[in-house]
Structure 1
Amino acid sequence: MRIILTILTLVIFSYAKAQDKEVESIKSQAKKFSEYMMNGEREQVVAMYTSDAKIFPADRDILEGERLANYWNPPGERSWKTSYHRITPVEIKVMGNEAYDWGYYEGTSSNGEQTSDWRGKYVIIWRKIEGEWKIYLDIWNRIKLDN
C-alpha cells in the first residue's frame, strides 16, 4: 500500500510541476505580446496567433485571417503608438495542448497630441503548436476608468 501511495504522490507531484512549467510558458508569451505592442512590432503580434485564430474585439465582428492581421497591423500608417501594455492573468488552466487564461489588461497609447490610458478584461484560449503556446481565441473589452 505504501508503494502505491508513494507512486501516486510522485505522479501528482510530476503533473503539478508540468502544469507550473506550462503556466509559466503562457505567462512568458503574454509578456512577449506586450513587448511587441510597445515596440510597434505588429507583425510579431499577429504571429502570436494560430493560423485559424479568431479575435473578438469589443463592438466589432469576429475577425480571422487577413482581417485579424489587418486589425493589429492595418494597411497604411498607424498614428497611435502603444507606450505601455501589460497583461495580468488571474487564472491560467492548462488541459493538455490547450489552455484558458483570463484576467486584465492595461495600457497607454498616444498619437503625439493626445494620450489615452485604458484597461479591460480578457479571455484567451491558447493552443500548443510545435512546442509553442499560441493564441487561438482572444476576446477582450474595456473597463471604464475612474478619473
Structure 2
Amino acid sequence: MKEQINLRNDQFNHAINKQDGVLLSQLYTADAVLYPPKQDVIHGREAIGLFFNEVFKMGVSKGSFKTIEMVVTADYAFESGEYGLWVAGNQLVAKGFYIYVWQFIEGEWYIISDIWND
C-alpha cells in the first residue's frame, strides 16, 4: 500500500512541475478539503484545481514533496512530510511540512484532507 501512495506522490510532484492544477486536483477526492496557510479553506476537487492554477500563475514552477512518515490502515493512510516550492531561477519561495489523509477508493488512493505550513 505504501508503494501505491508513493506512486501517487510521484504523480503529485509531476503535476506541480508541469504546473497543471487540473491534473493535480485529480489526486484528490471530489469532496476533498485543502487547508492552505493563512487562507480560507478550499472545498472540492474543482476548487482545488483552481487554487493550484492560481499558485502557478504566481510563478511557482517547481515543487518537491518528501514523505517523512506514513501510517496505512485498510482504507486510510496518514502521511507527513516536508516540501519546498521554487519559482524561476531556482529560487526557493516556500518550505515547510505537510499532512495528507489518504482514502483508498475503488482501487486507488486519493487525498481527502491536505494541510501544510510555511
CA RMSD of aligned residues (A): 1.9
2:86 maps to which of 105, 108, 115: 108
Residues 39, 69 of structure 1: CA spacing in aligned structure 2 closer, same or farther, 3 A cutoff? closer
Alpha-carbon distance in structure 2 between the residues aligned to 1:41 and 1:69: 8
Query: 51, 56, 60: which one pairs with 1:71?
Result: 51
Q: Distance in 2 between matches of 1:25 and 1:70?
A: 26
1:40 aligns with 2:16: no
User: Segments of 4+ in structure 1 off by > 6 A?
Assistant: none
Map 1:1-147 → 2, pairs under 5 A: 22-65=1-44, 66-74=46-54, 78-82=57-61, 84-110=62-88, 115-142=91-118
Give the Å deviation of 1:41: 2.0
User: Aligned AA for 2:42?
Assistant: L
> Is the contact between residue 31 and residue 86 of structure 1 (CA under 8 Å) also seen in structure 2?
no
What amino acid sits opposite 2:6 in the alignment? K
Residue identity matched to 1:71? F
1:11 matched residue in structure 2: none
Most deviating of 26-35 and 64-73: 64-73
Q: Give the aligned residue type for 1:118.
A: A
* 1:24 partner SS: helix
Identity of aligned residues (%): 27
Task: Output the TM-score relative to the length of structure 2.
Answer: 0.88
Please state which structure has a larger fraction of its residues in helix: 1
- Specify which structure has the bigger relative contact order, considering alpha-carbon pairs within 8 angstroms and separated by 6 or more residues: 2
Task: Give the number of the structure whose alpha-carbon radius of gyration is greater.
Answer: 1
Give the TM-score, by structure 1 length.
Answer: 0.71
For residues 137 and 46 of structure 1, the distance between their equivalents in structure 2, rounded to whole angstroms, comes to 12
Normalized per residue, the structure richer in strand is 2
**1:79, distance to aligned residue in structure 2 (A):** 4.7
